[in-house]
């Protein structure tokens, strides 16, 4: 994506329609991050949270990044999820501009040595400018964390997250039973 003049680069034509004002902005440094970052979109959709998703590159489109971060709160966004790999400056720079909470997703990308470069670029922020950094490639957790932040002011959403957590618990219990039934002894669950 080429950097366009500042007057037009934030009004790119797209075919997507926006039925609801997005509450979460998912941004990523490149479309090559999408296979990882789409997990955030999927879990937000599961919780019925309106979101938007686009490419914003700290290095290739710095003006677009500033415009996006400056306008995010005014447009109604409440949380930003930012994913990037390698010299992953996008989450930290967006957090430096907006008062909104920023969740960073380190991505093991084509320009990443081993993933640690992405993790540390997002994690090691200076005092005063936090980025809530999830695990490497953990875009799903970023979406869940965004949902939990939003649930503070949305009781119904909180109930949907509680039901999701209950489902996770039940899945583990099913695995416990399956292990017992396949011949592995377990004194803990027998007492």
| Residues binding ligand RP5 (CB under 6 A) | 28-30, 32-33, 57, 84-86, 107, 109-111
Cα(121)–Cα(73) distance, integer angstroms: 24
Which CB, 38 or 148, lies closer to ligand RP5? 38
Q: How far is the CB of 90 from ligand RP5 (least distance, A)?
A: 7
What's the distance, CA 109 to chain centroid? Answer: 16
Which CB, 4 or 111, lies closer to ligand RP5? 111
Nearest to 82 by CA among 64, 47, 111, 56: 56
Residue 95 neighbours by CB under 8 Å, 6+ apart? 102, 104, 125, 129, 130, 131
Q: How far is the CB of 36 from ligand RP5 (least distance, A)?
A: 9
Q: How far is the CB of 104 from ligand RP5 (least distance, A)?
A: 11
Answer yes or no: are the C-beta atoms of 131 and 104 closer than 8 Å.
yes
Which CB, 53 or 157, lies closer to ligand RP5? 53
User: Residue with CB nearest ligand RP5?
Assistant: 29
- Using DSSP bridges, classify how beta strands 79-85 and 24-28 pair: parallel, antiparallel or unpaired: parallel
Which CB, 83 or 143, lies closer to ligand RP5? 83
Residue 26's DSSP bridge partners are 53, 81
Which CB, 30 or 151, lies closer to ligand RP5? 30
Q: How far is the CB of 57 from ligand RP5 (least distance, A)?
A: 6
Answer yes or no: are the C-beta atoms of 87 and 104 closer than 8 Å.
no
Q: How far is the CB of 108 from ligand RP5 (least distance, A)?
A: 8
């Amino acid at each position: 994506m080429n950097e366009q003049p500042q007057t037009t680069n934030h009004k790119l034509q797209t075919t997507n329609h926006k039925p609801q004002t997005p509450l979460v902005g998912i941004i990523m440094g490149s479309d090559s991050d999408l296979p990882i970052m789409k997990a955030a979109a999927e879990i937000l959709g599961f919780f019925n949270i309106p979101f938007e998703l686009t490419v914003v590159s700290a290095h290739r489109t710095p003006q677009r990044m500033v415009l996006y971060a400056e306008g995010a709160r005014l447009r109604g966004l409440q949380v930003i999820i930012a994913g990037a790999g390698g010299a992953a400056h996008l989450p930290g720079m967006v957090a430096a501009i907006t008062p909104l909470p920023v969740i960073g997703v380190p991505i093991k990308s084509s320009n990443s040595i081993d993933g640690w470069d992405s993790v540390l670029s997002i994690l090691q922020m200076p005092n005063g400018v936090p980025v809530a950094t999830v695990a490497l490639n953990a875009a799903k957790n970023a979406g869940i964390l965004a949902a939990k932040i939003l649930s503070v002011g949305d009781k119904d959403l909180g109930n949907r997250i509680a039901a999701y957590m209950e489902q996770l618990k039940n899945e583990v219990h099913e695995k416990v039973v399956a292990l017992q039934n396949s011949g592995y002894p377990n004194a803990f669950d027998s007492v």
